[in-house]
Amino acid sequence: MQTAPAQARPSRPPMKGYWREYGWAYLFILAPVLLFLVFTLYPVASAFLMSFQEYSVMGSEWIGTDNYTRMVQDEVFWKSMRNTVLFTIGTVPVNIVITYGLSFFIFQMKNKWQTFFKATMYLPAVASGVTISVVWLAIYDPTNAGLLNRFIGLFGFDPVIWLGKSDTALFSLILMNWLGSHGAGIILYLAAMGGIPKSLYEAADIDHASGWSKFWRITWPLMKPTTLYLLVTGVITSFQVFISVYLMTQGGPNFATTTIAYLIYSTAFNFYEFGLAAAQSFVLAALIIVISIIQFKYFSSDVEY
Amino acid sequence: MKSRSKVIMLIVASVILVVWSVLTIIPMYWMLIGSVQDTKSAASFIPKMIPDVLSVAPYERFFGKTNVMRWLFNSLLISTILTVTNVFLASLAGYAFAKLKFPGNKAVFWVLLSTMMIPAQVTLIPLYILMIDVFDLGNTYTAILLPGIVSVGNIFLMKQYMSSLPTSLIHAARIDACGEFGIFWKVILPMAKPGLAVLAIFTFVASWNDFFWPFLVTNSAEMRTIQVGLASFVYADTTDFGALMAGATVAALPMMILFFSLQRYFLQGITIGAVKG
pLDDT one-digit tens code per residue, A133-168: 999 999 998 888 889 998 998 998 888 899 988 889
Asked whether residue A164 is assigned to any structural domain, the reply reads yes
**What pLDDT does residue B240 have?**
85
Q: Are residues A154 and A278 in the same domain?
A: yes
Q: Are residues A57 and A147 in the same domain?
A: no
Cβ count within 10 A of residue A74: 15
Q: Are residues A91 and A158 in the same domain?
A: yes
**Angstrom distance (rounded) from CA A214 to CA A207:** 11
Q: Are residues A35 and A74 in the same domain?
A: no
Do B100 and A28 count as a contact with CB atoms less than 8 A apart? yes
- The domain ranges of chain B are 66-233
Q: Are residues A100 and A125 in the same domain?
A: yes
Question: Which residue from A56, A74, A58 is spatially nearest to A66, judged by alpha carbons?
Answer: A74
Q: What is the mean pLDDT of chain B?
A: 88
CATH number, domain with residue A139: 1.10.3720.10
Q: Are residues A167 and A40 in the same domain?
A: no
Q: Residue B36: pLDDT above 50? A: yes
Do A5 and B167 count as a contact with CB atoms less than 8 A apart? yes
Q: What angle do CA A168, A171, A177 make, to 5 degrees?
A: 145
**What pLDDT does residue A33 have?**
94
Contacts of A123 in chain B (CB under 8 A): 24-25, 28, 256, 259
Q: Residue A304: pLDDT above 50? A: no
DSSP B178: -
- For residues B27-50, give the mean pLDDT: 82
Which residues 97-156 of chain A have a CB within 8 Å of chain B? 101-102, 105-106, 108-109, 115, 117-124, 126-139, 141, 145, 147
Length of chain A, in residues: 305
The domain boundary residue, chosen from A66, A93, A126: A66
- For residues B125-152, give the mean pLDDT: 92
**Angstrom distance (rounded) from CA B241 to CA B198:** 36
Q: Residue A2: pLDDT above 70? A: no
**What pLDDT does residue A303 have?**
46
Q: Are residues A148 and A252 in the same domain?
A: yes
Contacts of A38 in chain B (CB under 8 A): 130
Helix-helix angle B68-99:A14-28, to 10 degrees: 140
Second CATH level (architecture) for the domain B66-233: Orthogonal Bundle (1.10)
Q: Residue B235: pLDDT above 80? A: yes
- For residues B116-123, give the mean pLDDT: 89
**Angstrom distance (rounded) from CA A290 to CA A293:** 5
Give the pLDDT band of residue A13 (cuts 50, 70, 90).
low
- For residues B196-217, give the mean pLDDT: 93
Per-residue pLDDT reduced to its tens digit, A159-218: 889 998 888 999 999 999 999 889 889 998 998 888 888 888 888 888 888 878 888 888
- For residues A80-89, give the mean pLDDT: 94
- For residues B49-60, give the mean pLDDT: 85
Contacts of A288 in chain B (CB under 8 A): 117-119
Range of the domain at A30: 15-66
Do B101 and A109 count as a contact with CB atoms less than 8 A apart? no
Asked whether residue A30 is assigned to any structural domain, the reply reads yes
Burial class (CB within 10 angstroms; exposed 0-12, middle 13-18, buried 19+) of B26? middle
Task: Give the chain B residue nearest A129 (alpha carbons).
Answer: B209
Task: Give the chain B residue nearest A268 (alpha carbons).
Answer: B125
Q: What is the mean pLDDT of chain A?
A: 86
Which residues 66-95 of chain A have a CB within 8 Å of chain B? none
Q: Please, where are the H alpha helices in B1-149?
A: 2-34, 57-65, 68-99, 105-114, 120-129, 141-145
Residue of B21, B47, B252 lying closest to A131 (CB–CB): B252
How far is CA B117 from each of CA A123, B32, B111, rounded to the nearest angstrom? 27, 37, 11
| DSSP sequence for chain A | ---PPPPP-----HHHHHHHHHHHHHHHTHHHHHHHIIIIIHHHHHHHHHTTEE--TT--EE-TTHHHHHHHH-HHHHHHHHHHHHHHHHHHHHHHHHHHHHHHHHHTS-HHHHHHHHHHHHGGGGS-HHHHHHHHHHHT-SSTTSHHHHHHHTTTPPP--TTTSTTTHHHHHHHHHHTS--HHHHHHHHHHHHTS-HHHHHHHHHTT--HHHHIIIIIHHHHHHHHHHHHHHHHHHHHT--HHIIIIITT-STTTT--HHHHHHHHHHTS--HHHHHHHHHHHHHHHHHHHHHHHHHHHSPPP-
CA A222, A223, A228, A233 torsion: positive or negative?
positive
Question: What's the complex ipTM?
Answer: 0.89
Of residues A100 and B47, the one with the higher pLDDT is A100
Phi-psi region of B139 (alpha: psi -120 to 50; beta: other; left: phi over 0): left
Residue of B47, B122, B181 lying closest to A281 (CB–CB): B122
CA A213 to chain centre: 31
Which residue pairs, CB below 8 angstroms and at least 24 apart, start in A281-285? A281/A47, A281/A51, A281/B119, A281/B121, A281/B122, A281/B124, A281/B125, A282/A47, A282/A48, A282/A51, A282/B122, A283/A71, A284/A239, A284/A240, A284/A260, A284/B119, A284/B121, A284/B122, A285/B117, A285/B118, A285/B119, A285/B121, A285/B122
| DSSP sequence for B118-169 | S-HHHHHHHHHHIIIIIS--TTSHHHHHGGGSS-HHHHHHHHHHHHTS-HHH
Do B34 and A138 count as a contact with CB atoms less than 8 A apart? yes
Q: Residue B75: pLDDT above 80? A: yes
Asked whether residue A2 is assigned to any structural domain, the reply reads no
Q: Are residues A40 and A103 in the same domain?
A: no
Q: Phi and psi of B35, rounded to 5°?
A: -80, -10
Do A129 and B209 count as a contact with CB atoms less than 8 A apart? yes
Residue of B124, B149, B251 lying closest to A130 (CB–CB): B251
Phi-psi region of B273 (alpha: psi -120 to 50; beta: other; left: phi over 0): left
**What pLDDT does residue A221 have?**
83
Q: Are residues A56 and A143 in the same domain?
A: no
Of residues B268 and A281, the one with the higher pLDDT is A281
Task: Give the chain A residue nearest B95 (alpha carbons).
Answer: A28
* Any B CB within 8 A of A196 CB: no
Contacts of A127 in chain B (CB under 8 A): 28, 209, 248, 251-252, 255-256
**Which residue of A60, A130, A149, A293 is the best one to mutate when testing the B interface, meaning the one whose CB has the most B CBs within 10 A?**
A130
Q: Residue B7: pLDDT above 60? A: yes
Percent of chain A predicted with pLDDT > 90: 47
Domains of chain A: total? 2
**What pLDDT does residue B277 have?**
36
**What pLDDT does residue B93 have?**
95
Percent of chain B predicted with pLDDT > 70: 95
Least confident of A76-85, A212-221, B88-97, B197-206: A212-221
Task: Give the chain A residue nearest B147 (alpha carbons).
Answer: A39
Do B152 and A32 count as a contact with CB atoms less than 8 A apart? yes
Do B127 and A39 count as a contact with CB atoms less than 8 A apart? yes
Per-residue pLDDT reduced to its tens digit, B255-268: 999 999 988 888 88
CA distance B180 to chain A (A): 7
Q: Are residues A38 and A56 in the same domain?
A: yes
* Any B CB within 8 A of A241 CB: no
Residue of A47, A115, A126 lying closest to B125 (CB–CB): A47
DSSP B53: S
Q: Round to the nearest angstrom and report the end-to-end CA distance of chain A.
A: 18
DSSP B186: I
Residue of B125, B133, B266 lying closest to A278 (CB–CB): B125
**What pLDDT does residue B163 have?**
86
Least confident of A238-252, A282-296, B196-210: A282-296
Do B125 and A128 count as a contact with CB atoms less than 8 A apart? no
CA A64 to chain centre: 32
**What pLDDT does residue A178 have?**
94
CA distance B67 to chain A (A): 17
Give the pLDDT band of residue A81 (cuts 50, 70, 90).
very high
Give residue B150's identity as a one-letter amino acid code: V
**Angstrom distance (rounded) from CA B271 to CA B277:** 10
Q: Are residues A50 and A132 in the same domain?
A: no
Q: Are residues A90 and A54 in the same domain?
A: no
**Angstrom distance (rounded) from CA A131 to CA B263:** 20
CA distance A167 to chain B (A): 23
Do A139 and B13 count as a contact with CB atoms less than 8 A apart? no
Task: Give the chain A residue nearest B32 (alpha carbons).
Answer: A135
- For residues B232-240, give the mean pLDDT: 83
Give the pLDDT band of residue A274 (cuts 50, 70, 90).
very high
